[in-house]
Amino acid sequence: MTRFSTVLSGIAAVVALVLGVAAQAQSAYPNRPITLVVPYPPGGSADILARTVGAELGKRLGQPVVIDNRGGAGTAIGTKVVASAAPDGYTLLLGTVSSQAINPAMNKVAYDPLKDFTAVSPLASIPFVLAVNPAAKIDSVAALIAQAKAQPDGLSYASAGPGTSNHLAGELLASEAHIRLLHVPYKGSAPALNDVIAGVVPMMFDLQTTTLPYLKSGKLKALAVTSKTRSSLLPDVPTMIESGLPGYEVTAWFGVFAPAGLPAPILARLNTDITDILKTPEMTARLRELGAELESGDPVTYAAYARSESVKWADVIKRYGLAP
């Protein structure tokens, strides 16, 4: 054997060894705890959902799923942690419409929501409700649009602050219905909702989770939900699409993402386990308690959805000059 052949044989042996070790590592996945980063403080809907799903995922994988709350910068801090992590399946992200679509379009963030992540699986979505104070005497989306067109300054609506989902929901309504709406920002959803209940501002888009008690008590009236299909918690309330706005869909969605380059076997394992968890009666009931609607799908479809959401909100934000 020539020296050249000997060198080639040595290289081949090393490559085979590396590939063998890599394959063994993937087949043994997971062999240590997994971190699920939540880019929000503890206690909110995202945190509760992450802990609920994470506990069940840990049972299936045979390793604990540790929740790491990294709130701040409108989700950018925690999201960047995952974008910079190794794509080995041991660092995952509880991604949301804010982290993957709205915040990157509104602000300069140190990650690319499309290039830096692998979409693993959707989890759930919470629709918004277009809620009005009964004293406003607006009984439908059509009546709201007609009233807005009759008022030169437009109807006012409350939100949790500039760039929040309920702010952008109002901007999307104005765009789709060709009306003018006056945005009244607050420092959080709670004070905004309180002023709608008090009649200071006539209406607001808010999550069905927080709106539901006031709808049941009659302090607010629901005109429509913002999801593509009707909410199981509000089956008698039409969607915005049914109300004459075919392009209107806004939800607070949640899903699992990993760093870009996640190996296919690990991606398939995580997607399958998460999908199976979501289909259990116990998880369905728990999501219903959170006011959330179950979402499931394969990684390719979910990646396409995340991309479409990124494009949609970037367009809305650019159109209205909302980015700083």
pLDDT in tens, 61-77: 999 999 999 988 889 99
Q: Is residue 131 located within the same domain as residue 179?
A: yes
Report the pLDDT value the prediction gives residue 7, as an integer from 0 to 100: 46
- 7 in any annotated domain: no
**CATH code at 282?**
3.40.190.150
178 CB-near residues (< 8 Å, 6+ apart): none
Cα 28 from Cα 32, distance rounded (Å): 10
Q: Is residue 132 located within the same domain as residue 271?
A: no
Going by pLDDT thresholds of 50, 70 and 90, the confidence category of residue 297 is very high
Report the pLDDT value the prediction gives residue 267, as an integer from 0 to 100: 98
Tokens standing for residue 241? 């699409």
State which residues form the domain around 83: 32-125+252-319
Q: Tell me the H-state helices in 62-135.
A: 76-83, 97, 103-106
266-292: average pLDDT? 93
Cα 255 from Cα 125, distance rounded (Å): 9
Q: Is residue 120 located within the same domain as residue 257?
A: yes
Whether residue 21 has pLDDT greater than 50: no
Whether residue 20 has pLDDT greater than 70: no
- 246 in any annotated domain: no
Look-up: residue for tokens 């190996």? 263
10-34: average pLDDT? 62
For residue 188, the SS3 value is coil
CB atoms near residue 162 (< 10 Å): 12
Q: Write 278-286 long-range contacts (CB < 8 A, 24+).
A: 278/53, 278/123, 278/124, 280/56, 283/52, 283/53, 283/56, 286/52
249 CB-near residues (< 8 Å, 6+ apart): 226, 227, 228, 240, 241
- 50 in any annotated domain: yes
Report the pLDDT value the prediction gives residue 288, as an integer from 0 to 100: 85
- 20 in any annotated domain: no
With a pLDDT cut of 90, the percent of the chain lying above it is 72
What pTM was estimated for this model as a whole?
Answer: 0.82
Tokens standing for residue 101? 């679509």
Q: Is residue 132 located within the same domain as residue 220?
A: yes
The lowest-confidence range among 3-12, 42-51, 97-106, 114-123 is 3-12
Q: Is residue 131 located within the same domain as residue 221?
A: yes
Going by pLDDT thresholds of 50, 70 and 90, the confidence category of residue 8 is very low
Whether residue 39 has pLDDT greater than 60: yes
Tokens standing for residue 272? 């399958």
Measure CA 232 to chain center: 19
- 18 in any annotated domain: no
**CATH code at 177?**
3.40.190.10
Measure CA 133 to chain center: 28
Report the number of distinct structural domains present in the chain: 2
Whether residue 291 has pLDDT greater than 90: no
Listed in order, strand segments (DSSP E) in the chain are 34-38, 65-69, 91-96, 117-132, 155-159, 181-185, 203-207, 221-225, 251-259, 293-294
Amino acid at residue number 25: A
> Could you tell me whether strands 155-159 and 65-69 are parallel, antiparallel, or unpaired per DSSP bridges?
unpaired
Pick from 225, 243, 278: which residue ends a domain? 225
Pick from 261, 276, 237: nearest CA to 129:
237
Q: Is residue 59 located within the same domain as residue 142?
A: no
Whether residue 277 has pLDDT greater than 70: yes
Q: Express each pLDDT in 184-223 by its tens digit.
A: 998 888 899 999 999 999 999 999 988 999 999 999 999 9
Over the chain, what is the mean pLDDT? 89
